[in-house]
A and B are shown apart, each in its own frame.
Chain A
Amino acid sequence: MIRSTVSTLAMTALLAMPALAQEVWVSNERDNTISIIDVPSMEVVDTIKVGARPRGIMFSHDHKVAYLCASDDSTIQVIDVTTREILHNLPSGENPETFALHPDNRHIYISNEDDNITSVLDVVDRRIVAQIPVGVEPEGKAINRAGTIAITTSETTNMAHWIDTETFEIFQNSLVGSRPRHAEFTSDDKRLFVSAEIGGGLHVFDTETYQELAEIRFEIPDVHPHDVQPVGFKLTEDMSRVYVALGPANRIAVVDAETYEVLGYHLVGRRVWHMAMSDDETKLFTTNGVSGDVTIIDLERQEPVKTVKVGRFPWGAAYRPADS
């Protein structure tokens, strides 16, 4: 959901001079902290105290602030990226779990997991502008680049709800496998991917016909199918790859996002949840909930290169590019 806005020019500048930031921020669900990993050194350089049960984390599109779901405090915290101080708390509805930021950089769509509600927050006016009834245990959130469609997945209702961002109304529901956790649009907005944790598949939908194009399945030698539980995933900007966290299978699947063929698996830490990708798409950072660490995968060499200890039960991760 964190989109790179780095231009080619900026990329050149980045390569020419030492990076200023280039960080990955990791929310630690049972430590009430954010661990900040410095990307070049691959080390935790700072730990910020935040609200209770931090889960969803992302940066604003201009990377000036970080947004954090402090679930048990029922608020969205806004954190200054340079001072690393909490600027203020925003209304979120009850128990926000995760969210997505509209391309307008102003509206955040929030999953209120205990209330079967998607709340829409205006970060400028600092108020909730809409509350949309959705299925039981709303979780995954995605907004297309055009900003016209917001997706909420409901874990117990087993649906992806398609929400019109003009009317704030659901206009379509797509049934998927059990416990849908995460959703993302391809960069051309033409396809929607939805992971089903208990169902074990990654569903792909056409965004014009709402028909299911494919369900990607995973079979890992010596891993029981029960343990193959797709949770977070990331699509590359060129739509060639999707990297899928497989939960207690302790692996990241590498999938061809065009042919839907599973190309391979990377062994990471225990119960891998979510991930962040560097803006140049050379590194992937996975949050391993049970082992309390982050695995850094070098995507050029296609191999894990380092495991970094963070706080207890790391949940979400967000990448902050060097030029921000």
Chain B
Amino acid sequence: MTHTLPIIPALVANFAASTALASIDVPIAYLEMEIARPPVLSNLDPIPDDLGRMGAALGLADNTTTGGFMGHNYVLTDMVVPLGDDWLEAARDVLAGHRIVVVNAPADALLALADLPEAAGALIFNASAESDTLREGDCRANMLHTMPGYAMRADALMQFLVSKRWTDLVMITGQHPADMEFADALRESATKFGARIRAEREWDMSSDMRRNIGQEFPVFTQDFPSHHVMLVADEAGDFGPFLEFNAWEPRPVAGSAGARPDAWSDRVEAYGAAQLQLRFKRLADRPMGVVDYAAWAAVRSVGEAVTRLNTNDATAIRDYILGDAFELAAFKGAAITYRDWNGQMRQPIPVATRTALVAMPPLPGFLHQVSTLDTLGRDRAETACNAFN
């Protein structure tokens, strides 16, 4: 399936040549693990079945158009491993035929995949798992992350709050592992940027819901110390969306609900994003979600590398993506690059409510000696990752 081609001078690709000569095939796999999601208070916003998959599909469409001019033939194979099926067996199958795999799976499943002997020398993109450990002690040289970690999201939100001088905070956390991890990141970020979380409380869902939310939350939040903003770590969207206007004090809510920092929001429209949103909506008949964006960015990163390198070699693509020459226009205002110490994609993080964009950190005034994008998340000097040395 692989042809060895003389390298066409990278700056001028001849269209006639690309149609006449043999082309390069670039197979990419999208592998998803079906997961059981916890129940939430409201089912008004079901999670789409094709979340992530459609993002990869749009990335493929974008790559294919460019590839048509370059003689690069992209093929995307997607596969969802149903609940209860053998994840690693499916992963082995996919890795047998693909050296580039975009993965939408929880952190432990992703890590197990990356550690398979079949994954050696492959290029794996993490398009969904947010655990910071995957970027730190559990980082892997064959794994890049287009999804930002919890620390990046927390830092984006904290930059915004600190820039508003809203530094007195309280926090309500849920009980799922993701809630705990995000809450940890928020605590660390508050310390990093000089905000303080004056009190915390855990929402355990054992409250007397017979009295309903409007009666329960005011009591639950009544004895919080005075604060500017109420943080909420409720990643499944269980109770967080109901906090606003139901707390004792009239304070804005931010974190998992209210003003939410994420890799993407369907409220982003500047920097050409309106076109990306429209392209996605035409393809998927729904707004672009966070995992869609991360999967799109992974497939596009491969496309950008193949366009410039004229090769389908996974190792060469990985090295180019991590190198200084790589940059991807990704509709958030700054060129996307990757951190060469842990494989994390550098990116602005929109902070948005359900109705409007609030801010797009990194914000002015948060300086960095190399890239202001590195004010979001753990920096080179702090990293515990040494797989990239």
Q: Is A178 an interface residue (CB 8 A)?
A: yes
- CB neighbours (8 Å) of A172 from chain B are 12, 14-15
Chain A minimum-CB-distance residue to B328? A178
Q: Is A5 an interface residue (CB 8 A)?
A: no
- CB neighbours (8 Å) of A156 from chain B are 62, 65-66, 329
Q: Is B227 an interface residue (CB 8 A)?
A: no
A261 to B144 CA separation, bound complex (whole angstroms): 38
* A155 and B329 form a contact (CB under 8 A): yes
Q: Is A103 an interface residue (CB 8 A)?
A: no
* A137 and B272 form a contact (CB under 8 A): yes
Q: Which of B10, B12, B13, B62 is within 8 Å of A136, CB to CB?
A: B62
- CB neighbours (8 Å) of B16 from chain A are 171
* B327 and A198 form a contact (CB under 8 A): yes
Range of interface residues on chain B?
20 to 34
* B335 and A158 form a contact (CB under 8 A): no
Contacts across chains A and B counted by CB atoms under 8 Å:
86
Q: Is A159 an interface residue (CB 8 A)?
A: yes
Q: Is B279 an interface residue (CB 8 A)?
A: yes
* A175 and B13 form a contact (CB under 8 A): yes
- CB neighbours (8 Å) of B307 from chain A are 158, 175
Shortest C-beta distance, B330 to chain A (Å), equals 8
Interface residues in B1-31 by Cβ distance below 8 A to A read 10-16
Binary contact track A171-199/B, C-beta < 8 Å → 1, others 0: 11111011100000000000000000111
* B329 and A210 form a contact (CB under 8 A): no
Q: Which of B12, B65, B328 is within 8 Å of A116, CB to CB?
A: B65
A158 to B15 CA separation, bound complex (whole angstroms): 15
Q: Is A291 an interface residue (CB 8 A)?
A: no
Q: Is B372 an interface residue (CB 8 A)?
A: yes
Shortest C-beta distance, A161 to chain B (Å), equals 8
Interface residues in B261-320 by Cβ distance below 8 A to A read 272, 275, 278-279, 282, 304, 307-308
A179 to B11 CA separation, bound complex (whole angstroms): 15
A172 to B9 CA separation, bound complex (whole angstroms): 13
Q: Is B219 an interface residue (CB 8 A)?
A: no
A108 to B13 CA separation, bound complex (whole angstroms): 27
Shortest C-beta distance, A139 to chain B (Å), equals 9
- CB neighbours (8 Å) of B328 from chain A are 178
Q: Is A248 an interface residue (CB 8 A)?
A: yes
* B66 and A157 form a contact (CB under 8 A): yes
Binary contact track B324-357/A, C-beta < 8 Å → 1, others 0: 0001110001110000000000000000000000
Q: Is A14 an interface residue (CB 8 A)?
A: no
Decide yes or no: A179 and B66 within 8 Å by CB, A155-B272, A212-B11, A226-B334 being known contacts: no
- CB neighbours (8 Å) of A197 from chain B are 329
Chain A minimum-CB-distance residue to B68? A133
* B15 and A171 form a contact (CB under 8 A): yes
Interface residues in A152-173 by Cβ distance below 8 A to B read 154-159, 161, 170-173
* A157 and B69 form a contact (CB under 8 A): yes
* B11 and A159 form a contact (CB under 8 A): no
Q: Is A211 an interface residue (CB 8 A)?
A: yes
- CB neighbours (8 Å) of B11 from chain A are 174-175, 211-212
Q: Is A293 an interface residue (CB 8 A)?
A: no
Chain A minimum-CB-distance residue to B308? A175
Decide yes or no: A113 and B275 within 8 Å by CB, A171-B16, A197-B329, A199-B327 being known contacts: yes
A124 to B335 CA separation, bound complex (whole angstroms): 42
* A114 and B372 form a contact (CB under 8 A): no
Chain A minimum-CB-distance residue to B16? A171
Q: Which of B12, B272, B278, B329 is within 8 Å of A175, CB to CB?
A: B12
* B12 and A210 form a contact (CB under 8 A): yes
Shortest C-beta distance, B283 to chain A (Å), equals 12
- CB neighbours (8 Å) of B10 from chain A are 175
* B335 and A198 form a contact (CB under 8 A): yes
- CB neighbours (8 Å) of B275 from chain A are 113-114, 137, 155
* A136 and B335 form a contact (CB under 8 A): no
Q: Is A301 an interface residue (CB 8 A)?
A: no
Chain B minimum-CB-distance residue to A157? B66
A174 to B8 CA separation, bound complex (whole angstroms): 12
- CB neighbours (8 Å) of A200 from chain B are 335
Q: Which of A116, A173, A179 is within 8 Å of B15, CB to CB?
A: A173
User: A161-B69, A171-B15 known; 19 other A-B pairs, CB under 8 Å?
Assistant: A135-B66, A137-B275, A154-B66, A155-B275, A156-B329, A157-B66, A157-B69, A158-B66, A159-B69, A170-B15, A171-B16, A175-B308, A177-B327, A179-B272, A179-B329, A198-B329, A199-B327, A211-B12, A226-B334
List 9 tightest A-B contacts by C-beta distance, closest first: A178-B329, A198-B329, A179-B329, A157-B66, A226-B334, A198-B335, A173-B69, A136-B65, A136-B62
19 chain-A/chain-B pairs, Cβ below 8 angstroms: A114-B279, A155-B272, A155-B275, A156-B62, A156-B66, A157-B65, A158-B329, A161-B69, A171-B16, A172-B12, A173-B12, A173-B14, A173-B70, A175-B12, A177-B327, A178-B304, A178-B329, A198-B335, A212-B11
